[in-house]
Amino acid sequence: MKVAVIGASGLLGKYLVREWKGDDVAGFSSKDVDIRDAGQVNKLIERVRPDWILLAAAYTDVDGCESHQELAFQTNCTGAVNLAQAARDHGSRLLFVSTDYVFDGANSTPYETDAPRNPRSIYGKSKAEAEVHIAEILLTSCIARTSWLFGVGGKCFPDTILRLADARPELQVVNDQRGSPTYARDLALALVQLCRKNAQGIVHVTNSGDCTWFEFAFEIIRQAGLKTVVQPTTTDKIPRLAPRPKYSVLSAKSLARYEILMPAWQQALTNYLSERRQT
Distance CA 231, CA 172 (A): 5
pLDDT recorded at residue 239? 87
**pLDDT, position 91:** 97
Residue 267 pLDDT:
98
Q: Phi and psi (nearest 5°) for 207?
A: -65, 155
Concerning whether 123 is annotated as a catalytic residue, the answer is yes
Q: What is the pLDDT of residue 168?
A: 94
Rounded to whole angstroms, the Cα distance separating 30 from 262 reads 30
Residues 83-112 have pLDDT tens digits of 999 999 999 999 999 999 999 999 999 999
Domains within the chain, CATH numbers bracketed: 2-151+181-208+248-265 (3.40.50.720)
pLDDT at 125: 98
Residue 87 CA to residue 97 CA, distance in Å, equals 15
All residue ranges of the chain with pLDDT < 70 are none
Catalytic residue among 123, 183, 247, 272: 123
pTM of the predicted model over 0.95 = yes
| Model pLDDT, residue 29 | 97
